[in-house]
Structure 1
């Protein structure tokens, strides 16, 4: 039986060459700017039942806050907002566009903010997450965050209020 050939190459070589020519999308982390707010609001509105307002985001463009976005080939795939108070970082908002979920964008943002907090000699990162948000809780646990408490009736919900799981990550000096 003869081997199939394409232009003098075996079929497997041709398939391998064409697969290596396909490039993976480029993910880039960058600081957010106020001009990013329309894209941020688009993601926020798709990501949360009780989204932040544009005014809340605008208030975060000041000292003491860090806002990062992840771009994939020029498209905002997700963002994170943190506040810095004394030696502690508070993760206030991390959201990934539904079309980019399950591809590591949230983990990339989380690792970036941990790296930046360590670089800036912060002692810990804290966050709140809805008790019902199992995917986010699993991500935070997998990156070393531990539950340190609960905040009762912290998040508005369709049927009233939902408790928050408070999680923390101690940073190594």
Structure 2
């Protein structure tokens, strides 16, 4: 049974390794560390006592933005992303957050399907938002969920 806890300072090396494995163009370790603090709700998901996923979410007033959700490739397809997202949404509701926003790569159909199943709606397209690994840019789909 997976467990979810807040991210702690000594988790970053593990989170960074998951980030590198899970994303086409990963965040740097410095970016990961900079997205922490009192306005963030950042969670890690453990399976058999090992961190296999995480979420980085910033809150401002009654809104939040999910900046990053990652599950290591070896643990994908087991529902961990859904469990992590649901726990994040539950915790945000407890904090009085009314809307959760995110951007997702237009090509990331698996993530888009997950978000849609959890109640997110497509709001807009950000043209040429994400860098591609071999150059060029990709659109981002802006999505929102009313909690």
- 1:66 aligned counterpart, secondary structure: coil
1:162 paired residue number? 138
Residue of structure 1 aligned with 2:17, choices 25, 30, 42: 42
Contact persistence 1:70–1:79 (CA under 8 A):
yes
Cα distance in 2, alignment partners of residues 53 and 67 from structure 1: 17
In the TM superposition, residue 49 of structure 1 has moved relative to its aligned partner by 1.9
Contact persistence 1:43–1:78 (CA under 8 A):
yes
Q: Does 1:112 align with 2:87?
A: yes
Cα distance in 2, alignment partners of residues 99 and 87 from structure 1: 35
- Map 1:24-173; keep pairs closer than 5 Å: 26-157=1-132, 158-171=134-147
Higher relative contact order (CA 8 A, sep 6+): 2
The TM-score with structure 1 as length reference comes to 0.82
Cα distance in 2, alignment partners of residues 159 and 106 from structure 1: 28
Cα distance in 2, alignment partners of residues 159 and 142 from structure 1: 31
The Cα RMSD (Å) is 0.8
Larger Rg: 1
Number of residue pairs matched by the alignment: 146
Q: Which runs of 4+ in 1 moved over 3 A?
A: none
Structure 2 gaps, min length 5: none
Cα distance in 2, alignment partners of residues 113 and 72 from structure 1: 17
In the TM superposition, residue 66 of structure 1 has moved relative to its aligned partner by 1.3
Structure 1 gaps, min length 5: 1-25
